[in-house]
Amino acid sequence: MENPKSIDLVIEAPWILPVEPAGVLLEEHAIAVDAGRIVEVLPAGAASQRYRARSVRRLDRHILIPGLVNLHTHAAMSLFRGLADDLALMDWLSKHIWPAEGRHISEKFIYDGTLLACAEMLKSGVTCFNDMYFFPEQAGRAALECGMRAALGIVLIEFPTPYASDAQDYLRKGLAARDSLKGERLLSFCMAPHAPYTVSDDSFGKIVTLAEQLDLPIHVHLHETAGEIAEHLKQHGVRPLERMQRLGLLSPRLIAVHAVHLTSVEIALLAAQGCSVAHCPASNLKLASGFAQVGSLLRAGVNTGIGTDGAASNNRLDVLGELRLAALVAKAQSDDAVTLSAHAALRMATLDGAKALGLDGEIGSLVAGKCADLTAINMIDAIELAPCYDPVSHLVYAAGREHVSHVWVEGKELVTNGHLNAIDQGRLLANAKAWQRQIAAVD
C-alpha cells in the first residue's frame, strides 16, 4: 500500500452535492484539498487511507455544496438598505437613489459598504459576487480584506457622479482599477455599462471593443421593466435587445441583468448568441418589475444564474433565499411544478453563475482541479429542518442562510460555525451606524 499523501485539508460530510455531474448527491464522502484546490472527491473511508491532512473537518450533520455565486449586485449599496422602499423603479432611482449617490458616494463609502456586503454574503454561503458600482478598486480591496472572490464592474453611465465626469472618465478610471488589481487571483473584471437608457451608442461601441480586446464579460441591466422598453421604443424605434444586437453586444460575453420582459423571439436570440441572464427574483418582485420567464429561458438553453441585486432594492444579499424564490416563482409563472427543480436551482446559483463570468473552469462545482470554494450547511440540528428526507430538496425549500455553518475560499476557512473569522463585526456595525446618521441627516 502506498504511503498516504500529505495535503492541507480533508472535509468529510454525510452529503456532498458536487453539481457536476448533474443530479448527483454523494453520501459519506470527503473532499481533499491542497494549495487551495480540490485534489479529489472520494468516499470518506478511502480519504483517510489515501491522504494525511494537516487539518481534518468532520462535519457529520452537514451538506457540502460549491460556494454560491451572486451574479448581480451593487455591493456598497448595503449602506442604502431600506432608504427608499415601496417605490417604482424609475421613481426609486431618479428621486431617491441617484440623488443620494450624488451626496454620499466616495471611496470610503464604497469600501465600507462593500465590507458590510461581503460579511453578509459570506455568512450566507456566497463566495463570489459580480459587482456593478463606482470606485471598483475600493470594492476590490474590501473583497480582498474579507478573502472573498469578486468580479468588479468597469462601470459606465453618461451622466456625472462623484466617481467620474463623463463616459471617457468612467472607462479611464475603471481600466486603471483593473491595472492596479490585475495581480490579485481572487479578482476579475467585467465591462459594466449601466443600461440602454443611460448609455449611448458610441459608449456601447467602446464597451464592445474593450471587452473583446481584454476578454471580459459585459454586465448590463436589460429589459427590466415594461416602462423602460416603451420609452426605448419612443427614443430609438426598436426594443433595447434589438439595439444591443445592432451594436454587437449579443455574444457569450453578455450578462443580461433582470431580462424580465422578453418575447419568444428575443429568448431564442439570447440562446442563439450564447448570452447569459442574471435572474434577480426578489428585486423584480419588490420593484414590481415583473416575472422573468425562467422556464422558457432554460428550455431555450439560455445560461441563467442568480443575483440579489443591491440591498437597496432587495434588502437582503441572500442567494439561498433567491434560489428558493426563483424555483417557486418559476413554477407558478409557468403553471408547471417541474419547471425548476431543486438541483437545477442550485446549479443556477453556482455553476451557471460561474459560467456567465467565465469562471466555470475555476469555481461553481466540486470537481478535482477546481478552487476549493465551499459552503457547508447544517441540515440536522434545527427544528425547522426536521425531518430531512431529501437533502437537496431541503437545501432549496427549507434551509436558509441562518443554517450556513462553514465557508471556504481557496481552502481558507472564512466562516466557522456561523462566525466570521477575518472580519471585525463590531467595526462593521459601528461604520454602518455612522453612515446611517450621515445619510439620514440629509435624505
Contact between 356 and 255 (Cβ < 8 Å):
yes
Query: Stretch 267-278: mean pLDDT, rounded?
Result: 98
Report residue 405 as a C-alpha cell: 455553518
Query: Stretch 355-379: mean pLDDT, rounded?
Result: 98
Looking at residue 87, its pLDDT comes to 85
CATH of region 80-356, choose from 3.40.50.720, 1.10.580.10, 3.20.20.140, 1.10.4030.10: 3.20.20.140
Looking at residue 336, its pLDDT comes to 93
Residues 195-217 have pLDDT tens digits of 999 999 999 999 999 999 999 99
Residue 92 has pLDDT above 90, yes or no: no
pLDDT bin (cut points 50, 70, 90) of residue 443 is low
Closest to 319 measured CA to CA, from 115, 63, 126, 79: 126
Residue range(s) occupied by CATH 3.20.20.140 in the chain = 80-356
| Backbone CA torsion sign across 194, 196, 198, 203 | positive
| Backbone CA torsion sign across 89, 322, 131, 228 | negative
Residue 442 has pLDDT above 80, yes or no: no
Q: What is the DSSP letter of 340?
A: S
Residue 1 has pLDDT above 60, yes or no: no
The DSSP bridge pattern shows strands 149-156 and 374-378 to be unpaired
> Which pTM does this prediction carry?
0.97
Consecutive H or E run containing 69: strand 68-73
Query: Stretch 291-301: mean pLDDT, rounded?
Result: 97
Q: What one-character-per-residue DSSP string does 262-286 give?
A: --HHHHHHHHHTT-EEEE-HHHHHH
Entry field: residues in the chain = 443
Closest to 292 measured CA to CA, from 384, 342, 223, 343: 223
Give the integer Cα–Cα distance in Å for 15 and 63.
5
Q: Tell me the CATH architecture of domain 5-66+367-418.
A: Roll (2.30)
Q: What one-character-per-residue DSSP string does 183-249 give?
A: T-TTEEEEEEE--TTTS-HHHHHHHHHHHHHHT--EEEEES--HHHHHHHHHHHSS-HHHHHHHTT-
Residue 334 has pLDDT above 70, yes or no: yes
Consecutive H or E run containing 175: helix 167-181
Residue 3 has pLDDT above 90, yes or no: no
Mean pLDDT lowest among 91-95, 180-184, 255-259: 91-95
Three-state DSSP state, 116: helix
Residue range(s) occupied by CATH 2.30.40.10 in the chain = 5-66+367-418
| Backbone CA torsion sign across 319, 320, 323, 324 | negative
Mean pLDDT of all residues in the chain? 96
> 285: which residues sit within 8 A by CB, 6+ positions away?
325, 329
What does the longest C-alpha to C-alpha distance in the chain come to? 75
pLDDT bin (cut points 50, 70, 90) of residue 88 is confident
Looking at residue 439, its pLDDT comes to 93
Query: Stretch 319-336: mean pLDDT, rounded?
Result: 96
